[in-house]
């Protein structure tokens, strides 16, 4: 599951880049392609980050139960959440604002430079989220191997 979530985050980054390229090359007749790429990217991006948050909630509960509330394990699962949740939340927030401002650009209500800046911020935020999540998932996997494989043998 962790690998799948990381892949969806990478797909979001790729989708953001493809959407930006499609937007930069879009003529008035080809704006639909940019919008389609943007919509698909937003759906995948929101899915990847929200499911990553649920992943850490679920595995944290399992680890706490399997370790019989070991204080070290409880603290480590809290540390994972305290690192992953803000990056995931802010990545989703910037992505949604970027998408909404894109609608404003098409209506002439939002400056193009703002949408471009938000696109760059979205790519940076998802890149940061990926980096934070891969490190947290590696540590989480070590705990899962230690506590959940032992409890499966009991």
The pLDDT tens digits for 102-127 are 999 989 999 999 999 999 999 999 99
pLDDT band at 151 (very low <50, low <70, confident <90, very high): low
Mean pLDDT of the chain: 92
SS3 content of the chain, % helix, strand, coil (to 5): 90, 0, 10
pLDDT band at 45 (very low <50, low <70, confident <90, very high): very high
25-29, 48-52, 87-91: least confidently modelled range: 25-29
Q: What is the pLDDT of residues 52-66, one digit of tens each?
A: 999 999 999 998 888
Altogether, the residues listed in the chain come to a count of 154
What is the rounded CA–CA span in Å between residue 136 and residue 37? Answer: 29
Average pLDDT on 5-11 reads 96
DSSP E strands: which ranges in the chain? none
Is this prediction's pTM over 0.85? yes
């Amino acid at each position: 599951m962790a690998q799948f979530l990381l892949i969806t985050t990478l797909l979001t980054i790729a989708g953001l880049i493809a959407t930006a390229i499609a937007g930069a090359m879009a003529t008035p007749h080809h704006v639909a392609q940019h919008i389609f790429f943007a919509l698909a990217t937003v759906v995948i991006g929101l899915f990847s980050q929200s499911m990553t948050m649920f992943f850490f909630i679920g595995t944290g509960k399992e680890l706490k139960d399997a370790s019989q509330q070991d204080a070290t394990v409880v603290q480590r699962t809290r540390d994972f959440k305290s690192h992953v949740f803000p990056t995931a939340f802010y990545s989703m927030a910037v992505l949604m604002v970027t998408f909404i401002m894109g609608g404003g650009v098409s209506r002439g209500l939002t400056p193009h430079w703002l949408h471009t800046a938000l696109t760059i911020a979205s790519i940076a935020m998802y890149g940061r989220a990926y980096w934070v999540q891969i490190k947290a998932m590696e540590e989480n996997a070590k705990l899962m191997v230690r506590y959940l494989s032992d409890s499966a043998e009991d």
